[in-house]
Amino acid sequence: MHSGPTGSAVRPSRAAVGAVAFGRRRNWSPTGGYLGSLFLVPTLVFLVVLIAYPVAYNFYLSFQDYNYLLGVSRFVGPRHYVQLLYDPVFWRSLANNLVWTIGGVGGQLVLGLAAALLVDTPGRGMVVVRTLLLIPYVVPAIATAITWRWMFNDFYGILSFVLTAVGLLPPQTSPFASVELAMPAAICVGIWRGFPFAMIVYWAALQTIPAAEYEAAQVDGAGTLQEFWNITLPHLGHITLVLVVLRTLWMFNYFDLLYLLTKGGPAGATQHLPILVYITSFGLFRFGEAAAIAGLMAVTAGLIVTLYVRIHGPKEL
């Protein structure tokens, strides 16, 4: 303690004592002020090893002519990219990729919104309904593919029987064996597989809509359809944009389900870019060309995200 001019004792403030104690503890710490930075090291290592390095190596490999048998590579510049511009198989796979992505994302959002409106309805059995509707998303892709291939079997598949009965499919024929029906059938499976994700997101967004707005609309005599169009949809606009970006990136790069269903057939009718990368690399051992295709896919995905950010702003991601 210190004495003032009159000899009375003056105590230091609590803030001053706390500041001194905090400074001492910080100086006493063996890591100093760098303890927080150390916690970032595992994340940085993860990003570098599993993301940055594979992307950089893929970009490097796309400019190489790699010989798998000899284990040597030769720099060829942008030759693989130029060849892809004149490759009809690449353009057909890109077209299939767009059809698969647009059809799948659109169906998932529509079905997901319908399911969200269903589970948002008050009722004692809604918990069971939500659980059942989540099953497609938690079932492994291999089990999903085997089940749907069985239902679309040309001899004993129940869905093939229904399609034959209504005249959409010739007798003893599977949609996966038809050039015209293979992609629509695969898209239906992709919609069934992915709509629970949209359902959960939409259902969470529905909880944020103020009930007072619906009450005011009912007082004004608005019907259910008018409430949906003028209240529900405007509130779901932002989350729909986010879902479009997320599901587009997912479906554009989705490989396992479509490959397990059709392996890209028949006659390349369902071969999209991920399957083309797999066949080119592990089937034909043309790793440089496969890396170029994967690089173009990454550029496309980056353009989708960039376009979204430029239109809606980075704060909305």
| Rounded-to-integer distance, Cα 93 and Cα 273, Å | 5
CB 296 within 8 A of CB 84: yes
Tens place of pLDDT for every residue, the chain, 317 residues?
444 444 444 555 554 545 444 444 444 444 455 777 788 888 899 889 888 898 899 999 999 998 777 777 889 999 999 999 999 999 999 999 999 999 999 999 999 999 999 998 887 778 888 889 999 999 999 999 999 999 999 889 999 999 999 988 888 889 999 999 999 999 999 999 999 999 999 999 999 999 898 889 888 888 888 988 999 999 998 899 889 989 999 999 999 999 999 999 999 999 999 999 999 999 889 999 999 999 999 888 888 778 877 776 555 44
> What does residue 253 show for φ and ψ, rounded to 5 degrees?
-105, 10
DSSP at 114: H
| Rounded-to-integer distance, Cα 201 and Cα 116, Å | 8
Closest by CA to 185, choosing from 157, 139, 148, is 148
| Rounded-to-integer distance, Cα 299 and Cα 305, Å | 10
| Count of helix runs (H) and strand runs (E) in the chain | 17, 4
Sole residue written with tokens 């038809």: 178
The model's pTM:
0.83
- CATH numbers and ranges of domains, the chain: 1-31 (no CATH), 81-316 (1.10.3720.10)
CB 263 within 8 A of CB 279: no
